[in-house]
Chain A
Amino acid sequence: MPAPIRLRELIRTIRTARTQAEEREMIQKECAAIRSSFREEDNTYRCRNVAKLLYMHMLGYPAHFGQLECLKLIASQKFTDKRIGYLGAMLLLDERQDVHLLMTNCIKNDLNHSTQYVQGLALCTLGCMGSSEMCRDLAGEVEKLLKTSNSYLRKKAALCAVHVIRKVPELMEMFLPATKNLLSEKNHGVLHTSVVLLTEMCERSPDMLSHFRKLVPQLVRILKNLIMSGYSPEHDVSGISDPFLQVRILRLLRILGRSDDDSSEAMNDILAQVATNTETSKNVGNAILYETVLTIMDIKSESGLRVLAINILGRFLLNNDKNIRYVALTSLLKTVQTDHNAVQRHRSTIVDCLKDLDVSIKRRAMELSFALVNGNNIRGMMKELLYFLDSCDPEFKADCASGVFLAAEKYAPSKRWHIDTIMRVLTTAGSYVRDDSVPNLIQLITNSVEMHTYTVQRLYKALLDDISQQPLVQVSSWCIGEYGDLLVSGQCEEEEPIQVTEDEVLDVLEGLLLSNLSTPVTRGYSLTAIMKLSTRLSSVNRIKKVVSVYGCSIDVELQQRAVEYNALFKKYDHMRPALLERMPIMEKTASNGPTEIVQTNGETELSVPDMKHPPLVTQPANQANDLLDLLGGNDVVTVIPTTLPTKPASAGGELLDLLGDLSLSGGPAPVSSVPVSQPSFLLDGLSSQPLFNDITAAIPPMTAYNKNGLKIEFTFERANPNPNIAVITIHATNTTEAEMTEFVFQAAVPKTFQLQLLSPSSNVVPALNQGSITQIIRVLNPQKQQLRMRVKLTYTHKGVPVQDLAEVNNFPPQSWQ
């Protein structure tokens, strides 16, 4: 068998290969040769073969068959063999292979070898890939070597100990005595690795941390010596004495000083000294300064020192070196939470970094800018950020857009600004915004009632320009559907009104349906919008045609919608207006239970009320206000009762009572003080079906009023799911011979309660108990106080209008407890 070729021969041969296939062929041939050589158990050439194998492994070819050979090399007596063997073990083996345990004995012997380099090799291997079993077995040896006077071995043993601690944390105690005089070492290498060991121990165990706090004076002394000592050629790097050690010590000081006042105080001087004396012209100086700044920010330093640190970071930001700027931005990001004001001073520099060419710097600057936005600088910052959004890479756009939304939500100075900003984002980076921004935006628009016209106008204009950005299109079509009547009315307070005809609006929406750019979701939005416009615009026939066309659409969702809307036109036309009513103000965290009752801000709707809907009289409001006066002013919540809906269909079905709820709270009502809480009452409506049934046995009924032949009885029901709501049904009966017409029941409750009156069944109380009027009252009683009520009754009896006030105090305890 000819001698296996030497490593450099192999390398030379492989380099001559011109294609990947050629290289693979050469390597396979060589592997075969190596394998047969291994089988011959030849000691002389094993070293060479393994070296070649390692080379091939680096190029990416499988080399696992050499693992055992590495072990044999380690067991050999020659230093050369051991060297390659240990290298091979580190590169090819790891704790997942069972083979590695065979090394343990070899390493143990080598740790006690006479030659320090062999010991060094063993320590190195153990420190790189020692498994927990190996570490457990050999920890004692490592600990012994930690105490040796040989600095070469000591430093390696220190790092090996770190690895052992990482693998087997329980062994940390074992190394404690050896650490006693580690810091009194003169050799910088040993010092360096000792500090690493101490750092690791302090990070892992709070007990160790408190134990090592007493080392702070010693560390400070060492650091001082490093700075003050003159030029020492041995450790000099670009003019600074052992910067690596300085940085390590600073890091350890940071860990020791964190949340400990005494240690922090002991460090203040030296930190100030380092911060002011270090030369910043080279990277090494900046590295030390950077570490110092991080330490100052982390420990309990005095405020003067903190200001110094932030100023250093500010100086870094102006440095030409990109690395320094990057590092400064990263640390400012960390400190912006705690020292917000100090960082604000550098805001303009940070914003300039947004224009940097370097991707990493831009990302950092963007994150930092968002962290710095506050109520004062929102306008300026937003301008810069929007400009950035226009010109940045796609990978940033999504994050930037979300950041802009969040910031705008928190600090928007006015609703109009908010809407403008969001529109700007949608038009520039529309396709990158997150999915949940569409409902959030819709909710925001709904809530800013006075901006409806302005918003829908702007959205319409944006839609005319560009229909490719789906979130924008979705929001626009929803708004046009909701506020289409505002759009064609041609009035706008905020900006120049545009003249749009109904046909143009419908053209745009139909265009969305037909366009290839629209996703199915968008199409659904536009179809619903077109449908909603059937109650707001007058081109009902056109809408009917559009809707019926899509009844055969391939898209199932679209088809279903179209078919249902068609049915609405044909069979349920009476329900259409109510169903397609204006959306109420949405509670942001709408959930199943009654959330807080939301008060609108006293903004009145400017729009023309929908024709089909009965105009809500303002009369009862005045009367309710009179009630207020009577009750002595401010501690009563007014209640506006519903009027009788004129539609005959309202007489039947719980469904329409639900819709009656809708008409109460949303819509063109003057809603200055009506408590609105849509989800709760809607769902309560759904769940409280037994409303029209008789009383539960739990709460007994009571007579609230009985005078002049008019008797009003209250029956109670607990509303599910919220036990704080009591549902009262009033039954008004008439014992006289003449009926009572135009009967209106009003009620007022103390401030801690909230009350809602639903529509009565009719406004005529038939004579002689032939029938009754029923009406439902809902009372929210969160504080479980005693229920009291003032009622006012008006009716016409025998041609004479009658008015009466009464107080109802005899509520049974169960109704409000």
Chain B
Amino acid sequence: MIKAILIFNNHGKPRLIRFYEYFAEDLQQQIIRETFHLVSKRDDNVCNFLEGGSLIGGSDYKLIYRHYATLYFVFCVDSSESELGILDLIQVFVETLDKCFENVCELDLIFHMDKVHCILQEVVMGGMVLETNMNEIVGQVELQNRMEKSEGGFSAAPARAVSAVKNMNLPEMPRNINIGDINIKVPSLSPF
């Protein structure tokens, strides 16, 4: 069972926190700090497994982490998970994020925290691995996003700011439809 999934950057700022077991809020922040402390000390050419810190659980728990550019992806697991398998799972998760966000970078994670949560929900549920097929995950996430968009997203409020949006798999829409001398500017749907 996966006990927690933490994503933070090179300075320890949390970008995504998901605990699959109950911890009080301040304990959660303490765990994040301790994990960052343990993981940031590691050299780049040592193994990706760490015995867990004292806070996050007893002897059974391990920290399995991967460092991508500016982000650390840390999975805290117990002995029922295969360590090498979790390494692969982290890779699958990151590749999925890449597909969903198109060349994902830290900023994507910062501004779309809830989206990342939804993607994660399709991969890991209740501390157990749900789906590992990237295309499947991406497909389902897309469908759900489409549902959200059809409802107007967060900003179903009257003031609809138009901001840049990335069209995921919708066919390329012309920005201007010229019919005779009527210019209809196609509005880009905003996220929220």
Which residues of A does B touch, CB under 8 Å? 3, 6-8, 11, 15, 44-45, 47-48, 51, 54-55, 57-60, 62, 78-80, 83-84, 87, 91, 94-96, 115, 117, 123-124, 127-128, 152, 155-156, 159-160, 162-163, 188-189, 192-193, 196, 234-235, 237, 242-245, 247, 251, 283-284, 286-287, 290-291, 322-327, 357-361
Q: Is the CB of B136 within 8 A of A8?
A: no
Q: Name the one of B18, B51, B82 contacting A247, with C-beta atoms under 8 angstroms.
A: B82
When the two chains form their complex, are residues B143 and A242 in contact, meaning their CB atoms are under 8 A apart?
no
* Bound form: Cα–Cα A500–B136 in Å: 83
Q: Name 7 A/B residue pairs within 8 A (Cβ), A-sorted.
A: A91-B18, A117-B147, A193-B130, A242-B133, A323-B84, A358-B47, A361-B46
Decide if A286 touches B84 in the complex (CB within 8 Å).
yes
Q: Are A117 and B114 in contact (CB under 8 A)?
A: no
* Most chain A CB atoms below 10 A, which of B111, B126, B147, B153: B126
B189 beta carbon closer than 8 Å to chain A: no
- Complex: chain B residue closest to A95, CB-CB: B22
Is residue B9 contacting chain A, with contact meaning CB distance below 8 A?
no
Q: Is the CB of B14 within 8 A of A159?
A: no
Within 8 A of A (CB), among B67-110: 82-85, 87-89, 92, 110
- Distance, CA A291 to CA B152, complexed state (A): 47
Query: Once bound together, how far apart are the Cα atoms of A546 and B9, in whole Å?
Result: 65
Bound complex: CA A283 to CA B130 (Å): 21
Q: Are A48 and B192 interface neighbours, CB within 8 A?
A: yes
Q: How far is the CB of B149 from chain A (nearest CB, A)?
A: 9
Per-residue 0/1 for B106-142: is the Cβ within 8 Å of any A Cβ (1 yes, 0 no)?
0000110110011001000111111111011000100
- Is B40 part of the contact surface with A, judged by Cβ < 8 Å? no
Assuming the A-B contacts A60-B25, A83-B144, A325-B47, are A124 and B125 also in contact, with contact meaning beta carbons closer than 8 angstroms in the complex?
A: yes
Is there contact, CB below 8 Å, between A6 and B49? no
- Tell me, in angstroms, the Cα distance from A555 to B154 when the chains sit together: 74
CB distance from A461 to the nearest CB of B (A): 40
Which single member of A54, A62, A242 contacts B113 (CB below 8 Å)? A54
The answer, among A94, A159, A286, for a CB contact under 8 Å with B126, is: A159
Answer whether A323 and B47 are a contact pair too, CB < 8 Å, given A47-B154, A48-B192, A287-B88.
Answer: yes
In the docked arrangement, what's the CA distance between A58 and B85, Å?
27
Cross-chain contact A234 with B192 (CB below 8 angstroms): no
Report B57 CB to chain A, min CB distance, Å.
16
Q: Which residue of B lies closest to A324 (CB)?
A: B84
Closest 5 CB pairs of A and B: A287-B84, A322-B47, A127-B126, A358-B46, A244-B132
Asked if B132 and A192 make an inter-chain contact with CB atoms under 8 angstroms apart, the answer reads yes
Complex Cα distance A47/B17, Å?
A: 20
Which residues of A sit under 8 angstroms from B156, Cβ to Cβ? 44, 80
Q: In the complex, what residues of B have CB within 8 A of residue A163's CB?
A: 126
Q: Which of A3, A59, A60, A360 contacts B50 (CB 8 A)?
A: A360
Asked if B148 contacts A83 (CB within 8 A), the reply is: yes
Residues A284 and B88 in contact, CB atoms below 8 Å apart: yes
Q: Is B4 an interface residue (CB 8 A)?
A: no
Which of chain B's residues have a CB closer than 8 A to the CB of A323? Answer: 47-49, 83-84, 87
* Chain B residues whose C-beta falls within 8 Å of the C-beta of A128 in the assembled complex: 20, 125-127
- List, in ascending order, chain B residues with CB within 8 A of A251's CB: 82
User: Are B125 and A244 in contact, CB atoms less than 8 angstroms apart?
Assistant: no
Q: Are A322 and B46 in contact (CB under 8 A)?
A: yes
* Interface pair A196/B192, CB less than 8 Å apart: no
Partner of A62, one of B25, B46, B161: B25
Cβ of B29 under 8 Å from chain A: yes
Q: Which residue of B lies closest to A251 (CB)?
A: B82
- What A residues does B22 contact at CB under 8 A? 94-96
Interface assignment of B165: CB less than 8 Å from any CB of chain A: no
Question: What is the CA–CA distance of A324 and B87 in the complex, to the nearest angstrom?
Answer: 11
In the complex, the answer to whether B192 meets A6 with C-beta atoms within 8 Å is yes
Query: How many angstroms from the CA of A287 to the CA of B17 in the assembled complex?
Result: 27
Q: Which residues of chain A have C-beta atoms less than 8 A from B140's C-beta?
A: 117, 152
**A237 in contact with B46 (CB, 8 Å):** no
Interface residues of B in 7-61 (CB under 8 A from A): 14, 16-18, 20, 22, 25, 28-29, 43, 45-51
Q: Is residue B157 within 8 Å, beta carbon to beta carbon, of the partner chain?
A: yes
Establish whether residues B43 and A159, one from each chain, have CB atoms under 8 Å apart when the complex forms. no
* Closest chain B residue to A287, Cβ basis: B84
CB distance from A436 to the nearest CB of B (A): 23
Chain A CB within 10 Å — which of B25, B85, B148 has the most?
A: B85
Chain A residues within an 8 Å CB radius of B144? 79, 83, 117
